[in-house]
């Protein structure tokens, strides 16, 4: 069980187009949107002795199995495991499903949150090629040592795939950024400007790194995340691009809930924002599930933590009447993809869901 910490900051919006000389963006690289075609989905297998699922490892394994099985029709699944022994163990756990789409990589990790410790893949359009951005990683502000294995995952994946690596020298997690693939990026001040990440970097310096290494020109700042989120407010628990100019944002309908006001403020901000070409964002809402607690701790259950694969969308659900509303909302956003709801009441004990566990590798 991870401990919680929050941060407060103001929110602004910025439009800029300047890339630094010799940066990946100046060379034509950008981070594609999640709905663009994938070659694979990456996962890092959880360890029984890890801190993410105390006393609940056996409860979350069936969720991993369902997730991997649901991706079979969509794309390859590449799983980081410690060594051959763990690969054999995981193969036994997956024995009841077709694993012809599964590949194993002997890359050890501390915890399973591949969105945050894994590589950010960037793609060059004119001469199709992939590269890896290896942000520095400090386990969400140094909260959960050790994280030495997680910190080097991107370069180890890049080595196995024979891809070039860029090192921004900035602490960043994949769940803290949400690009539309065309120049706009959503993030939160509560996370990216938190002094536990990059205390010596100014907001403008952080923005420049986002431009240089992800190829974005339009950085859109939201405020705070949801209660129970130990990442200091990752955007992938609150607001997601579902098309170039369309966002889906979580709202809390219970005015007495601590999430009500922060999410309402973020909704108001989104309604003032535009995409990279000046088109106002088309803002849609998705409800929050009811409050979920375990051992007197609020868990960050959110339908916004879905994962967009080539043919399916993995949706965390929580045994709530709002589950069906969330399914219907996502189906309208992705009419050509199958929505796969999977009960995540045990998974969210680790303070994350499907988007936190996955990292997409774009097709070239």
Decide: 148 and 110 in contact? Cβ < 8 Å: yes
Which residues have a catalytic role annotated?
Answer: 356
What is the residue-wise DSSP string for 77-118? EEEEESSHHHHHHHHHHTTTS--TTEEEEE---SSS-HHHHS
Contacts of 227 (CB under 8 A, 6+ apart): 258, 259, 298, 300
Decide: 233 and 266 in contact? Cβ < 8 Å: no
**Cα–Cα distance between 12 and 357 in angstroms, integer?**
29
**Cα–Cα distance between 64 and 74 in angstroms, integer?**
16
**Cα–Cα distance between 207 and 203 in angstroms, integer?**
6
Residue with tokens 């080097």: 152
Among candidate residues 236, 228, 207, 194, the one with its CA nearest the CA of residue 356? 236
User: Is the backbone peptide bond immediately before 31 cis, with ω within 30 degrees of 0?
Assistant: no
- Structure tokens that stand for 124 in this block: 């060059």
If 0-12 CB within 10 Å is exposed, 13-18 middle and 19+ buried, where does residue 168 land? buried
**Cα–Cα distance between 337 and 319 in angstroms, integer?**
22
What element of type H or E holds 68? helix 57-70
Q: What b/e sequence results for 274-298 when a residue is b if at least 16 CB atoms lie within 10 Å of its CB, and e otherwise?
A: ebbeeeebebebbbbbeebeeeeeb
Decide: 164 and 170 in contact? Cβ < 8 Å: no
């Amino acid at each position: 069980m991870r401990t919680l910490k929050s941060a407060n900051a103001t929110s602004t919006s910025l439009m800029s187009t300047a890339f630094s000389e010799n940066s990946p963006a100046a060379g034509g690289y950008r981070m594609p949107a999640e709905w663009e075609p994938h070659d694979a989905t990456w996962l890092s297998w959880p360890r029984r002795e890890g801190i993410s699922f105390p006393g609940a490892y056996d409860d979350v394994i069936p969720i991993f199995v369902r997730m991997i099985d649901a991706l079979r029709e969509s794309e390859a699944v590449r799983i980081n495991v410690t060594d051959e022994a763990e690969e054999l163990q995981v193969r036994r756990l997956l024995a009841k499903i077709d694993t012809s789409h599964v590949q194993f990589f002997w890359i050890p990790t501390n915890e399973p949150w591949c969105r945050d410790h894994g590589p950010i893949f960037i793609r060059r359009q004119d001469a199709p090629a992939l590269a890896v951005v290896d942000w520095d990683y400090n386990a969400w502000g140094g909260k959960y040592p050790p994280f030495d294995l997680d910190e080097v995952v991107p370069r180890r994946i890049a080595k196995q795939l024979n891809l070039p690596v860029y090192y921004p020298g900035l602490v960043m997690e994949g769940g803290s950024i949400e690009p539309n693939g065309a120049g706009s990026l959503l993030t939160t001040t509560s996370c990216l400007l938190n002094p536990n990440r990059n205390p010596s970097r100014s907001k403008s310096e952080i923005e420049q790194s986002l431009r240089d290494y992800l190829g974005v020109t339009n950085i859109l700042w939201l405020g705070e995340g949801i209660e129970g989120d130990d990442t200091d407010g990752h955007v992938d628990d609150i607001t997601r691009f579902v098309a170039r100019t369309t966002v889906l944002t979580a709202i809390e309908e219970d005015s007495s809930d601590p999430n009500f006001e922060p999410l309402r403020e973020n909704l108001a901000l989104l309604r003032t924002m535009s995409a990279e070409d000046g088109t106002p964002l088309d803002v849609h809402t998705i409800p929050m599930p009811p409050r979920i607690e375990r051992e007197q701790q609020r868990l960050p259950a959110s339908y916004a933590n879905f994962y967009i694969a080539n043919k399916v969308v993995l949706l965390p659900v929580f045994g709530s009447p709002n589950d069906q509303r969330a399914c219907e909302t996502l189906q309208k956003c992705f009419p050509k993809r199958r929505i796969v709801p999977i009960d995540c009441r045990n998974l969210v004990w680790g303070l994350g869901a499907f988007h936190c566990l996955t990292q997409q590798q774009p097709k070239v």
